[in-house]
């Protein structure tokens, strides 16, 4: 995994876990890699991974079964979507809006673009 | 686990390198020790390992005074110096002669580390390159299972794959009862590995804070223009890379090089933030 420049590492690891869950690589009730395994895999401090796992626990995306490890929560996919939606609305959308405003892009044009994007990428 | 109180140290009595330096280290952390050339990084590490004697001050390492060099403490310290000498023997003979000093030495783990570092067993130490020797002493040091791991510029001389291997090995070597301190200039080699930054400057500890605390208090980001909220900034392709107070609870990625320069040049602005 390549880390990007500008986002806190523990949040990038959270995105990595969320993506695995959304893509069903890790399914509900399955064990996620231990803190140590994840730290070794990503070459980061185990305390950073612990911080990620605590965040994901608070969002009910994973849960901690004492003595056994961390598991994907039952409602994980719905909760990942909630979490990612909040992030998108708060962090990414303002950047898009700024450009839409600065470049005078009309909503009709965006709608057309959006429709063909969905068609090309998700409806084939 | 480790306490330093009012340490005064100088190689020359008239010119002190550390004046009343105090700090505490706990188990379960990887500390990154930073500082300019000559700031005393290696010297601090040597003080902790009992390799040099302070003029005054009190040091407690795992309940011992390191200057007394008691075997019970030394067997719990793994010290990887920047410059080292290895005798003209084979790896087996080196291990046979030295592992006995470490009651918890783990031979299987040592063999695994050699394999991970791609060092063929049965080699003669003097036929090995600097990087290979370095990997050998890192492997030996970690295999001692020492509770206190001190590394002075460990990634110097390591090739690119070995650096990644080193980070993996260190990530798995950090346990709850182990304390690891690593000095480095190569911040990019280690910036995701350390969880607490210690910076030495002007005879003392200029900053000691966890990455979490630093990024709670400071925000590292690109800005288009400089205004007076900015603590420190460096020009970049698209504006400036800046350190600003974290007013809005933003999450950002710690930029160690930027922080380093900010600490060196903007002490007055940073001090109130970290006190």
pLDDT at B225: 87
Cross-chain Cβ contact B252/A48 below 8 Å: no
Question: If you classify domain A9-76 with CATH, what class do you get?
Answer: mainly alpha
- Write down the pLDDT at residue A12: 94
C-alpha pair distances (Å), B56 with each of A60, B19, B23, B36: 53, 10, 15, 24
**Chain-chain contact of B252 with A5 (C-beta, under 8 angstroms):** no
Chain centre distance of CA A57:
14
Tokens for B256, please give them.
């160690």
For residue B164, the chain A residues in CB contact (below 8 A) are 43
Domain limits, chain A: 9-76, 77-122
In chain B, what percentage of residues exceed pLDDT 90? 83
| CA separation for the pair B139, B180 (Å, rounded) | 15
Question: pLDDT at position B135, please?
Answer: 95
User: Minimal Cα–Cα distance from A12 to chain B, Å?
Assistant: 10
Average pLDDT over residues B75-99: 94
pLDDT on residue B210: 96
Interface contact A44-B252, CB threshold 8 A: no
pLDDT (tens digit per residue) in A34-51: 999 999 999 999 999 999
Can you tell me the mean pLDDT for B205-231?
A: 92
Name every chain A residue with its beta carbon within 8 A of the beta carbon of B192. Answer: 3, 9, 42-45, 48
Question: Roughly how many angstroms between the first and final C-alpha of chain A, as a whole number?
Answer: 29
The whole-number average pLDDT for the span A68-83 is 94
* Residue B239 confidence class, pLDDT cut points 50, 70, 90: confident
Question: What is the model's pLDDT at position A82?
Answer: 93
**Site from A34, A46, A91 to mutate, B interface, most B CB atoms within 10 angstroms:** A46
DSSP label at residue A31: B
More confident residue, B96 or B228: B96
pLDDT at position A4 over 80: no
- Chain B stretch 212-241, residues whose beta carbon is closer than 8 A to a beta carbon of chain A: 212, 215, 220-222
DSSP track, chain B: -EEEEEEEE-SBTTB-SEEEEEEEE-TTEEEEEEE-TTSSHHHHHHHHTTSS--SEEEEEETTB-GGG--HHHHTTEEEE-SS----SSBHHHHHHHHGGG-TT--HHHHHHHHHHTT--TT-BGGGS-HHHHHHHHHHHHHHTT-SEEEEESTTTT--HHHHHHHHHHHHHH--TT-EEEEE-S-HHHHTTT-SEEEEEETTEEEEEEEHHHHHHHEEEEEESS--TT-SEEEEETTEEEEEEE-TT-------HHHHHHHHHH-HHHHHHHH-
pLDDT of B56 higher than 90: yes
Whether residue B2 is predicted with pLDDT greater than 90 in this model: the reply is yes
Contact flag A45-B174 (C-beta cutoff 8 Å): yes
Say what the pLDDT of residue A91 is. Answer: 83
Is the pLDDT confidence value at B83 over 80? yes
Amino acid A124: pLDDT: 57
How many other β-carbons are positioned within 10 Å of the β-carbon of residue A92? 11
Helix (H) or strand (E) holding A62, with range, is strand A62-65
Tell me what pLDDT residue B228 has.
87
pLDDT of residue A1: 67
Could you tell me which residue, A18 or B14, shows the higher pLDDT? A18
Q: Is the pLDDT of residue B33 over 80?
A: yes
Residue B174 has its nearest CB partner, among A7, A8, A46, at A46
What share of chain B has pLDDT > 70, as a percent? 100
Q: What number is the average pLDDT over the span B94-106? A: 95
Distance CA A116, CA A121 (A): 8
Q: Give pLDDT tens digits for B255-271.
A: 999 999 999 999 888 98
Distance of residue A123 Cα from the nearest chain B Cα, in angstroms: 35
A71: part of which helix (H) or strand (E)? strand A69-72
* Strands ordered across the beta sheet of B18-25: B18-25, B2-9, B56-61
ipTM above 0.90, yes or no: no
Nearest CA in chain A to B164: A43
Question: Is the pLDDT confidence value at A5 over 80?
Answer: no
Q: Provide the whole-model pTM.
A: 0.90
Dihedral angle over CA of B189, B190, B192, B193, nearest 10: 140
Interface of A with B (CB under 8 A): 3-9, 11, 36, 39-48, 51
Average per-residue pLDDT in chain A?
A: 92
* Rounded Cα gap, residues B19 and B22, in angstroms: 9
CA distances from A4 to A9, A13, B255 (A): 8, 11, 12
């Amino acid at each position: 995994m390549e880390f990007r420049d500008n986002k806190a590492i523990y949040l990038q690891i959270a995105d990595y876990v969320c993506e695995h869950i959304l893509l069903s690589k890790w399914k509900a009730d399955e064990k996620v890699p231990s803190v140590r395994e994840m730290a070794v895999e990503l070459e980061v401090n185990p305390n950073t991974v612990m911080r990620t796992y605590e965040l994901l626990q608070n969002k009910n995306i994973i849960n901690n079964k004492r003595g056994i490890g961390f598991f994907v929560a039952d409602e994980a996919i719905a909760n990942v979507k909630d979490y990612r939606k909040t992030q998108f609305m708060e962090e990414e959308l303002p950047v898009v809006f700024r450009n839409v405003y600065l470049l005078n892009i009309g909503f009709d044009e965006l709608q057309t673009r959006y429709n063909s994007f969905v068609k090309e990428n998700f409806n084939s | 686990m480790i306490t330093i109180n009012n340490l005064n140290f100088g190689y020359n009595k008239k010119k002190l390198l550390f004046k009343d330096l105090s700090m505490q280290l706990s188990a379960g952390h990887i500390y990154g020790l930073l500082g300019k050339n000559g700031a005393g990084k290696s010297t601090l590490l040597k003080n902790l390992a009992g390799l040099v004697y302070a003029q005054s001050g009190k040091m407690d390492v795992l309940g011992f005074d390191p200057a007394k060099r008691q075997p019970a403490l030394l067997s719990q310290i793994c010290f990887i110096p920047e410059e080292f000498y290895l005798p003209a023997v084979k790896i087996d003979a080196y291990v046979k002669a030295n592992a006995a000093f470490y009651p918890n030495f783990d031979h299987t783990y040592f063999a695994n580390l050699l394999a991970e570092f791609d060092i063929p067993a049965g080699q003669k130490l003097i036929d090995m390159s600097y990087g290979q020797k370095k990997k050998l002493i890192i492997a030996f040091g970690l295999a001692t299972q020492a509770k206190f791991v001190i590394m002075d510029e460990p990634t110097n001389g390591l090739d690119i794959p070995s650096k990644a291997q080193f980070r993996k090995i260190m990530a798995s070597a950090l346990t709850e009862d182990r304390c690891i301190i690593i000095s480095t200039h190569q911040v990019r080699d280690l910036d995701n590995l350390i969880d607490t930054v210690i910076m030495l400057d002007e005879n003392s500890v200029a900053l000691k804070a966890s990455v979490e605390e630093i990024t709670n208090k400071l925000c590292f980001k690109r800005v288009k223009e400089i205004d007076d909220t900015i603590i420190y900034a460096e020009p970049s392709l698209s504006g400036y890379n800046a350190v600003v107070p974290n007013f809005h609870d933003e999450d950002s990625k710690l930029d160690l090089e930027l922080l380093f320069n900010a600490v060196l040049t903007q002490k007055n602005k940073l001090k109130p933030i970290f006190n």
